[in-house]
Amino acid sequence: MATSSRHLNIVLGVGGGIAAYKTASLLRILKEQGHDVHVVPTASALNFVGSATWEALSGHPVSATVWENVDEVPHVRLGQEADLVIVAPATADLLSRAAHGSANDLLTNVLLTARCPVVYAPAMHTEMWTNVATQENVATLKSRGAIVIEPAVGRLTGADTGAGRLPEPEDIARLALECVHADTRDLAGKSVVVTAGGTREYIDPVRFIGNRSTGKQGIALALTAAARGAQVTLICANVSLPLPAGVTPIHVETGPELREQVLAHGRDADAIVMAAAVADFTVARESMTKIKKSDSEQSISLELVKTPDILKELVIRRDTENLKQIIVGFAAETGDESATVVEHGQAKLDRKGCDLLVVNEVGKTLGFGTDDNAAVIIAREPRTHHEVPLTSKSALADCIWDEVRLQFDRF
């Protein structure tokens, strides 16, 4: 989990929902990372988890009302001094009161006085989450710069299942702390599509052509974009890693499936980042039954054909329809006798016509599956090279979004 480089003063607001019990784990995670956390529950939240629990875990007294410790003016001081406010669970009622500027308890007063990042983690039944009133309140909060994490899909209260489950505490903490770590909210109001992972091109029902991409870089790009205020759609090709809260995930397997989803969701995007490793070749004829291993045959032959060039197709559509969007490609390269890694990347940028190309050298211990990465980010107009030395994939993701931000300024 990405952590902030400094110890923070965090206000943890707790709404009155059954998921409040999971917020105790979130509090413990934040405390274990050295942050000072003041818990501010609503009165209804104390029906689910009492003050004694919050006080024992936080080390601070807990109150839901503005009428305690009045001499310290807590309804103003807590918000003013906070580096970060997290509200989990954020119930439908609490989202409504926050969107309408209510100040009828300590937590809503804190939300009005806070001048730091505010992160809401909603939790409620699916019908309440999808209700037009709730969605309008969420839209209002987002328009004011708040981050509203998309709820998870899963088991709810009773036997119900659907969208509205509180994201896991680890995911909430990671996204919230990334919000503080990000220098600005310079992607607020932008819609971005990020692809991650590696596609599979099936030979038969059990075998496929694939690659070593795990999706770590694409996930880092999605997480940092969300932390910087963007609305993020993450198209995942065979990714088994936990996905970050705060993004909309779409799962695919093959290149054609990824192409279909990128074309569909990318049309209205302000930026598309093609971080997934899409197979360059697929078999000409996929066997519908398992290919048997024969004792008499020592080898088999597969005819391979090129897969569609999704990146180039996106560029052609963008230019043909005069769409105002930034398109970013990735080039996992190895040097050879004809050119260096960067030279191969420059040639690919010219062929594809995308705005930015992120070029990184790959090998058995480079690029795929690692927690860090090094790259050169090449811009088409004006032609520039930004070399990023070995660093975390989250830090590289921030560098890529910095370059995207510069491209936006050209519009």
Buried b / exposed e along 6-16 (16+ C-beta atoms within 10 A): eebebbbbbbb
In this structure, what token pair is assigned to residue 267? Answer: 């049309």
Distance CA 170, CA 101 (A): 29
For residue 41, say if its preceding peptide bond is cis, omega within 30 degrees of 0: no
Distance CA 164, CA 152 (A): 6
Q: 93-134: per-residue pLDDT in tens?
A: 999 999 999 999 999 999 999 989 899 999 999 999 999 999
Identify whether the C-beta of residue 292 lies closer than 8 Å to the C-beta of residue 213: no
Output the pLDDT for position 184.
64
Does residue 158 carry a pLDDT above 80? no
Identify whether the C-beta of residue 30 lies closer than 8 Å to the C-beta of residue 10: yes
Q: Is 211 a catalytic residue?
A: yes
What percent of the chain is predicted at pLDDT more than 70? 93
Distance CA 379, CA 363 (A): 24
Distance CA 18, CA 373 (A): 41
Higher model confidence: residue 392 or residue 88? 88
Q: What residues does CATH 3.40.50.10300 cover in the chain?
A: 191-408
Instruction: Count other Cβ atoms within 10 Å, centred on residue 244.
Output: 24
Q: Which CATH architecture has domain 191-408?
A: 3-Layer(aba) Sandwich (3.40)
Distance CA 119, CA 175 (A): 9
Q: 355-386: per-residue pLDDT in tens?
A: 999 998 765 445 565 778 899 999 998 889 99
Distance CA 45, CA 29 (A): 20
Distance CA 73, CA 68 (A): 9
In this prediction, residue 3 has a pLDDT band, given cuts at 50, 70 and 90, of: very low
CATH superfamily for 9-181 is: Flavin prenyltransferase-like (3.40.50.1950)
Show Cβ contacts of residue 392 under 8 Å, excluding neighbours closer than 6 positions: 2, 220, 371, 372, 373
Selection from 88, 3, 78 nearest residue 42 by Cα: 88
The half-sphere exposure of 168 on its side-chain side, counting CA atoms within 13 A, is 7
Active-site entry in 211, 238, 360, 373: 211
Output the pLDDT for position 76.
79
Helix axes 341-352, 310-320, angle to 10 degrees: 40
> Strand 248-252 relative to strand 271-274: parallel, antiparallel, unpaired?
unpaired
Q: Helix or strand or coil: residue 373?
A: strand
Q: How far is CA 402 from CA 111, 116, 377, in A?
A: 29, 21, 11
In this structure, what token pair is assigned to residue 251? Answer: 């799962």
Q: How far is CA 348 from CA 304, 332, 351, 378, 409, in A?
A: 22, 11, 5, 10, 24
Distance CA 277, CA 332 (A): 8
- Kindly state the average pLDDT of the residues 52-60: 95
Distance CA 378, CA 187 (A): 21
Q: What residues does CATH 3.40.50.1950 cover in the chain?
A: 9-181
Q: How far is CA 140 from CA 147, 166, 246, 248, in A?
A: 11, 20, 16, 19
Burial class (CB in 10 A: 0-12, 13-18, 19+), 347: middle
Q: What is the mean pLDDT of the chain?
A: 89
| Range of 146-150, 181-185, 404-408 with top mean pLDDT | 404-408
Identify whether the C-beta of residue 198 lies closer than 8 Å to the C-beta of residue 212: yes
Q: 260-317: per-residue pLDDT in tens?
A: 999 999 999 999 999 999 998 999 999 999 988 876 677 888 999 999 999 999 999 9
Q: How far is CA 390 from CA 113, 277, 371, 378, 395, in A?
A: 40, 20, 10, 17, 10
